């Protein structure tokens, strides 16, 4: 990721809190290579088409996050129709689990390790307190543990907050299923992607349906170690910008 100016670097790669600049968790974890992303780019007709779809997909992801946040806060806001099935899946998740939000969309800072991030939620779910991260990706990736480990560690620095003992990813997705062969069609970011299988089938797509996948990522010291190692690498990569901040 390239930055044009120090101001842009500060704005996009971090947060200024009480006059101190901290790199953001999502920027730090982005330093790690993501093989799935190469396969995604490689499977598209052009780099630009892949980039455009990735951006559209990110916008949909933001809409889902906003809708989920509104539901957790108990405010009623209109949900854009394009993401309605995913939001329905979130409501189904809430019906199936006992979810008590303790923090929603809040900035957390580690002054010990010098980074900041925004958690989707800290919640008590079925009696257990943990960090809940919402994803709209097509799978739950192991890399997410670095992000949630960073949030868990930052939360321990806040006084008077219930100590989380685990972290989860709730993946919200929507797709259509072929009535004949059972493969699924995702249309995220305006792209059409059919899951593997169903060779030779003419496909009869059913309605767009939301689904959720709730995965426990836990709270393992090695995940925080990996995050801090990524931070060291991130700092090395951005050393020229960082030297201007001091």
If one counts every other C-beta atom within 10 angstroms of the C-beta of residue 151, the result is: 24
Exposed/middle/buried for residue 211 (C-beta within 10 Å: 0-12, 13-18, 19+)? middle
Question: Could you give the CA distance from residue 105 to residue 136 in angstroms, rounded to a whole number?
Answer: 16
* DSSP per position, 74-117: T---PPPGGGHHHHHHHHHHHHHS-EEEEEEEEEEEETTTTEEE
Q: How far is the CB of 191 from Zn ion (least distance, A)?
A: 18
Q: How far is the CB of 18 from Zn ion (least distance, A)?
A: 56
Which residues in this chain contact Zn ion in the complex, by CB under 5 A?
Answer: 178, 180-181, 198, 201, 203
- In the complex with Zn ion, which residue's Cβ is closer, 180 or 245? 180
Q: How far is the CB of 222 from Zn ion (least distance, A)?
A: 42
- In the complex with Zn ion, which residue's Cβ is closer, 107 or 203? 203
- In the complex with Zn ion, which residue's Cβ is closer, 32 or 186? 186
Q: How far is the CB of 192 from Zn ion (least distance, A)?
A: 14
- In the complex with Zn ion, which residue's Cβ is closer, 169 or 178? 178
Question: Could you give the CA distance from residue 166 to residue 176 in angstroms, rounded to a whole number?
Answer: 32
């Amino acid at each position: 990721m390239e930055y044009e100016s120090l101001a842009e670097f500060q704005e996009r790669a971090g947060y200024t809190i009480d006059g101190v600049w901290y790199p953001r968790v999502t920027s730090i974890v982005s330093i790690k290579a993501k093989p799935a992303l190469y396969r995604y780019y490689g499977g598209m007709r052009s780099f630009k088409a892949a980039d455009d779809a990735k951006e559209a997909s990110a916008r949909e992801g933001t809409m889902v996050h906003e809708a989920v946040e509104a539901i957790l806060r108990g405010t009623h806001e209109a949900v854009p129709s394009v993401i309605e099935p995913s939001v329905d899946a979130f409501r189904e998740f809430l019906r199936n689990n006992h979810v008590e939000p303790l923090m929603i969309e809040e900035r957390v800072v580690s002054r010990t390790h010098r980074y900041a991030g925004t958690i989707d939620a800290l919640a008590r779910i079925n009696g257990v307190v943990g960090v809940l991260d919402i994803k709209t990706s097509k799978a739950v990736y192991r890399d997410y543990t670095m992000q949630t480990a960073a949030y868990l560690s930052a939360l321990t620095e806040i006084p008077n907050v219930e100590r989380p003992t685990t972290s989860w990813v709730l993946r919200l997705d929507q797709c259509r299923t072929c009535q004949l062969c059972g493969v699924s069609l995702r249309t995220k970011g305006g792209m059409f992607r059919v899951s593997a299988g169903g060779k030779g089938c003419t496909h009869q797509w059913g309605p767009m349906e939301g689904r959720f996948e709730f995965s426990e990522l836990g709270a393992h010291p090695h995940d925080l170690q990996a995050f801090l190692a990524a931070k060291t690498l991130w700092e090395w990569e951005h050393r020229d910008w960082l030297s201007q901040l001091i």
